[in-house]
Chains A and B, each alone.
Chain A
Amino acid sequence: MADLQLKNIYKIYDGNVTAVSDFNLDIEDKEFIILVGPSGCGKSTTLRMIAGLEEISKGELYIGGQLMNDIEPKDRDIAMVFQNYALYPHMTVYDNMAFGLKLRKVPKDIIKEKVQEAARILDIEHLLDRKPAALSGGQRQRVALGRAIVREPKVFLMDEPLSNLDAKLRVQMRTEINKLHKKLNTTFLYVTHDQTEALTMGTRIVVMKDGVIQQVDSPQVLYSKPCNVFVAGFIGSPQMNFSDAKIDKRADGTYIVLAGGGEVKLTEAKAQQLEASGFTGTDVIMGIRPENIHDEDVFLANSPDSILDANVIVTEPMGAETYLFLKIGETQFNARVNPRTTAKPGDNIKIAFDVSKIHLFDKETEKTIIN
């Protein structure tokens, strides 16, 4: 159990390729931190620098208040779980899990006790005598977790541990890892490219792009108040809809005129927010999440200022909801509506934006103006 501080961490490879730049993060004890971003954003590199498998080019790393930059991986008291499990094919499950303890010359009976305990937590007691080749993907992942658990490390590092599993197992293991975090009460650092995993697991999420931290926040805040276009688009599935737009201040209120055609009137509250933000230009990017586009009659009746004409291109019934792919003017939008919708491909329908949920971004800097 320990807290971590990363101060101005850089990773620069030969030939001046910067993989991570100016990474600052304070991680409290027992937090579950998720590093998320598209591939190549430097999240795994950051994790490997914390593990000591990758040298830190610049900056300082503290674990439990102790400077770790030049400490060997074996002395950092961390345990890493790898994407492809990295189990030893020539050892049994038991030996794989006991490996770290044996290296530390822990007495045999204590090793046995700890391995049994970890196997019980992970429900793999019956597999201890098998070799990894005889296990399924999910079982291997449990063994890899077990190997980390028995060490009782200060920090758990996990590098996309679920990405080799099938969808169903992934959901199941997600819950298991969540439970494990509560049970072990230790700091977890978890790398993933899957925003769903990030949203469901972390207490705080670090969104990265091109080696730079974009935003660090709780899942709810990231979803409702993204700091720029990238975070807004990356978090949430299906993705947020974006459209170039212009702000048009008229006598009866502030309007958002979509570049592809159509306009909506901002609510009083949003207009005031925009005023207060100090943004003076007119060119913006408007963002709206699919669930904030409605086609129900009740909603349409209540929001006369944000009704738009739309052409239905494709409908995707998902069971609990239906996705509508719409064309509003020239721009494509994706709406997530009630499955009782009567819209069919080819229909011209009326839809309404929930204007109170609209996001506006500065077109030049792509930073959020109002959320």
Chain B
Amino acid sequence: MKKNKSFCAYPYYVWMITFIVIPLLLVLWYALFKSENDSIVFTTEYIKRFFEPIYIQVFLRSIVLAVISTAICLVIGYPLAYILAGKTFKHKNMLMFLVIVPMWMNFLLRTYAWLTILEKNGILNQILRFLNLPTQNILYTNYAVILGMVYNYLPFMVLPLYTVLSKMDINLINAAEDLGANKLTVFKKVVFPLSLPGVVSGITMTFMPAVTTFVISKLLGGGQTTLIGDLIENQFKVANDWNFGSALSLILMVIILLSMRVMTKYEQENEGGGLF
């Protein structure tokens, strides 16, 4: 006897339609239609405007900064996740706690904290001065933006990697050692290829927010570095050009969807491994 319980899903349908489907349709509407002489006409004007050099430049800058910060997250995060996943590591819980605890704090507050560290007479420069070293003006540069991104998104890289690595069957590693592999070969041939699903989802979870951020670039970039997120925000809040703002969002969404598609396809084809 199987009772039809699909009515339980109705509240979720309502929720999703109200807060996901309708807003998406609105974005689509604003991006592709405009009102002209009291009539509504289809237009690609806003989409086309994106391809003007000034906007392409902003877009490319966003991609480059996001790629760099994602790469740094991966380089820092992988060893950390590997250590955390180790069965014998004693201070595992403490370290895990330290990774997660900044996420309990407000995102804005975390980013503001860097202002006081990096500013001209901030903590960093005071320490440098105390050590008689030349002071650095990192604030309001791309470096500060990357730093902010890495700091904020590192846990999103570490957690999926940790999940994959800690679930890995220890016998796979034992078997490789027994078959004649040294530690480096075990990592190259077994551990890393098998952790690729974690790498892929770590990259996805870090790259997506990094490419769309506007708070970090605004606070730590000081308006010197406009990213695509800032551009979209400006269209809605300053320029009051909802159509272009929607067009930008739409393009970004399409690019993200495409890149996710490529990644998941790659993941499926390789059954979670096979770079080497």
Contact = CB atoms under 8 A, between A and B. Distances in A.
Contacts of A52: 177-178
Interface in A33-54: 51-53
A229 to B, nearest CB: 35
Which of B175, B181, B271 has the most C-beta atoms of chain A within 10 angstroms of its own C-beta? B175
A170 interface: no
Contacts of A151: 179-180
A147 B274 contact: no
B172 A74 contact: no
Interface in A47-65: 51-53
A78 interface: yes
Nearest to A75: B180
Contacts of A90: 193-194, 270-274
B178 A74 contact: yes
B264 interface: no
A131 B271 contact: yes
A100 B193 contact: no
Interface string B165-178: 00001011011111
Interface residues of A, number: 24
A89 B194 contact: yes
Interface in A82-127: 82-84, 86, 88-90, 99-100, 103-104
Contacts of A74: 177-182
A171 interface: no
Contact of A100 (B174, B179, B182, B273): B179
A370 interface: no
A86 B193 CA distance: 15
Contacts of B176: 99
Contact of A104 (B180, B270, B274): B180
Contacts of B135: none
A78 B193 CA distance: 25
B260 interface: no
A191 interface: no
Contact of B174 (A53, A78, A79, A89): A53
A89 B273 contact: yes
B271 A84 contact: no
Contacts of B194: 88-90
B58 interface: no
B96 interface: no
A133 interface: yes
Given A53-B174, A84-B169, A90-B194, A79 B179 contact: yes
B169 to A, nearest CB: 7
A53 B272 contact: no
A84 B182 CA distance: 22
B174 A80 contact: yes
Interface in B172-205: 172, 174-182, 185, 189-190, 193-194
Given A82-B174, A133-B271, A88 B179 contact: no
A262 interface: no
Interface in B221-276: 270-274
A317 interface: no
Interface of A: 51-53, 72-74, 78-80, 82-84, 86, 88-90, 99-100, 103-104, 131, 133, 147, 151
Interface of B: 169, 171-172, 174-182, 185, 189-190, 193-194, 270-274
10 contacts: A53-B178, A73-B174, A74-B177, A86-B172, A88-B194, A90-B274, A99-B189, A103-B181, A104-B180, A151-B179
Given A90-B270, A100-B180, A103-B181, 18 more contacts: A52-B177, A73-B177, A74-B180, A74-B181, A82-B175, A84-B171, A86-B171, A88-B190, A89-B194, A89-B273, A90-B193, A90-B273, A90-B274, A99-B189, A100-B179, A104-B180, A151-B179, A151-B180
